[in-house]
């Protein structure tokens, strides 16, 4: 790894070990935990660990995009979806779940061994020095706020509209099971809000 981010060799090694442990443990938590909220939070920790690895590789734009898109958008939307739906359901055991877990573990160990052999047997070429180039973050930032300002702002408005639509859809009452196809009860589509008359009377 090229030391352009101001870290010594020892600091890079320690940072790599910490990020690797954090990435592995949080990814296993996402897969193994039965609580979906905890799994979603650990998914965010996984994304942050990957962003740290990108920083060690001097890929500053990819690390920033990882945090902004996956942590700040995808993971937050997953948490919004989980907490807005608020559907409590007991965990049901999957048929032949233990056998599936064993098969999954064997496949994962096989992939891990294959990747380990590939990493250790490949002759990685390390360049002694690289010419100092301007940061990609600076160049992309200048383009975002000059040439591509309008598409950038339109994308943020689109995300805001989708978030508002998700909140509105999540607050609607569920249609009753007895409603026939083609017949929709008007009361079932009302938002769960108290009428203004009740609010005034309560005061």
Residue 201 lies in a domain: yes
Asked if pLDDT for residue 114 goes beyond 90, the answer is: yes
Q: State the helix-helix crossing angle for 36-56 and 9-32, rounded to 10 degrees.
A: 160
Choice between 188 and 14, residue whose per-residue pLDDT is larger: 14
Q: Which region holds residue 121: left if phi is over 0, alpha if psi is between -120 and 50, else beta? A: alpha
Residue 192 lies in a domain: yes
| Domains: count for the chain | 1
Percent of the chain with pLDDT over 70: 71
* Rounded distance between C-alpha atoms, residue 119 and residue 109, angstroms: 15
Residue 167 lies in a domain: yes
Nearest alpha carbon to residue 34 among 89, 104, 110, 105: 89
Choice between 158 and 131, residue whose per-residue pLDDT is larger: 158
Domain ranges, residue 157: 148-176+188-203
Residue 87 lies in a domain: no
What is the predicted pLDDT for the residue at 139? 79
The CA dihedral of 53, 102, 42, 61, to the nearest 10 degrees, is: 30
Residue 161 lies in a domain: yes
Residue 172 backbone phi and psi in degrees, to 5: -75, 150
Residue 162 lies in a domain: yes
Residue 114 lies in a domain: no
Asked if pLDDT for residue 64 goes beyond 60, the answer is: yes
Choice between 37 and 5, residue whose per-residue pLDDT is larger: 37
Nearest alpha carbon to residue 119 among 111, 108, 127: 111
């Amino acid at each position: 790894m090229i030391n352009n981010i101001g870290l010594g060799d020892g600091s890079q090694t320690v940072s790599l070990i910490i990020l690797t442990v954090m990435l592995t443990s949080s990814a296993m938590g996402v897969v193994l935990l039965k609580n979906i909220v905890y799994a979603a939070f650990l998914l965010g920790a996984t994304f942050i660990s990957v962003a740290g690895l990108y920083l060690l590789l001097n890929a500053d734009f990819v690390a920033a995009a990882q945090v902004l898109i996956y942590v700040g958008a995808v993971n937050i939307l997953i948490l919004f979806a989980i907490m807005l739906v608020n559907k409590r359901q007991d965990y049901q055991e999957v048929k032949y779940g233990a056998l599936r877990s064993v098969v999954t573990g064997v496949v994962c160990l096989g992939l891990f061994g294959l990747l380990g052999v590939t990493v250790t047997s490949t002759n990685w070429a390390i360049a002694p020095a690289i010419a100092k180039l301007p940061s990609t973050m600076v160049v992309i930032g200048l383009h975002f706020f000059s040439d591509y300002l309008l598409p950038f702002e339109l994308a943020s408005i689109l995300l805001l509209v989708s978030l508002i639509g998700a909140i509105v859809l999540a607050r609607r009452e569920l249609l009753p099971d007895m409603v026939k196809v083609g017949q929709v009860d008007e009361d079932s589509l009302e938002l769960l809000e108290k009428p203004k008359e009740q609010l005034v009377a309560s005061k």
